[in-house]
Structures are given as structure tokens and as C-alpha cells.
Amino acid sequence: MSLSSARPTPPRTWHQEGRERLTRGERAADALRNSMGSWTFVGSFLVFMVAWATVNSFAFAWDPYPFILLNLFLSMLAGLQGAILLIAAKRQDSIAAALAQHDFDTNLAAKADIEAVLEINNRQTAMIAELHEILSRLDAGRSADSAS
């Protein structure tokens, strides 16, 4: 028997199950949110803006200054980014609510387990006290028998 087959498989986490239930649109919104919120996006966006301005100022000039076409694209990008970020934020809210419910359920189960352990501990403490009392009486009885 190999060592790897002797190990139990780890339980699936809530996050793993949640990732598998995502729709294609939710995955796309998360991917876009993660990419738009990165330094790579900011840097590449700045490079694109400088290249657009440079090419249109000195070379082909299909969109001459004041870059009306670029403004149109930027406005459309801003509108789409807002919608994508709202979709991703809405999904994050539902994840947070589900995690809060999961934590609450876990806490309730843990509370019940702790109360059961405390009850067992209280019974054991009472038994130890009874045994201590019995042993004290037996010691007292032996002391009285050996004294007489």
C-alpha cells in the first residue's frame, strides 16, 4: 500500500465548491475586475494613451487632436468598467453573506459541542469530588482502626 493512498483526501472547502458553481459571466467579471485593478493594466493603459497621442499627432492622424475618437473609446471603457465592477462587487457581497452564514452555522455547531464537553467535564468533576470524599472517609476509617 503506497503512502499517498493511505492518506485521506482533504475535505473540499467552501471556496472550492463556490468556484465550481460560477457561471461563465461571473468568471469573466472576476477576471476583468482582477486585471483592471492591476498595475499591469495601469501601465499598459498609459502606454496605449501615449502611443495613441504620438501616432495621431505626428504620423497618420486618423484621430487628430483633440482625439475625439479616443474620448469616445474612453467613455465606452468607463461605462463598461463601471458595469463590470458592479457585477463583481455584487458577487462579492453574495460571497460575503454566504461566508457569514457558514461561519454562523459553524459557530452554532461548535457551541453545541463545547456545551457537551463542558457537561462531561462537570460530571467528571463531580465524580472526582465524590471519589475524593470516599477516599477521605476510607482514610479516616483506616486511621481510626489502626489507632484502636
Task: Please give the distance of CA 76 from its chain centroid, rounded to a whole number.
Answer: 33
* pLDDT band at residue 1 under the 50/70/90 scheme: very low
* Gap between the Cα atoms of 26 and 117, Å rounded: 43
Measured CA to CA, the distance from residue 140 to residue 145 in angstroms comes to: 9
Over residues 83-117, the pLDDT tens digits come to 888 888 888 888 888 889 989 999 999 999 999 99
Share of the chain above pLDDT 90, in %: 33
State the Cα–Cα distance between residues 90 and 85, nearest whole angstrom.
8
pLDDT at position 6 is 65
- Angstrom CA distances, 74 to 1, 11, 77, 81, stand at 62, 46, 5, 10
- Tell me what pLDDT residue 120 has: 97
What is the four-CA torsion angle of 40, 45, 46, 51, rounded to 10 degrees? 130
Q: Phi/psi of residue 40, each to 5°?
A: -60, -45
Half-sphere exposure of 145 (CA within 13 A, CB side): 6
> Which of these, 37, 11, 45, 40, lies nearest to 92 by C-alpha position?
37
Would you list the domain boundaries of the chain?
A: 24-147
Q: Mean pLDDT over residues 12-32, rounded?
A: 78
Question: Is the pLDDT confidence value at 145 over 90?
Answer: no
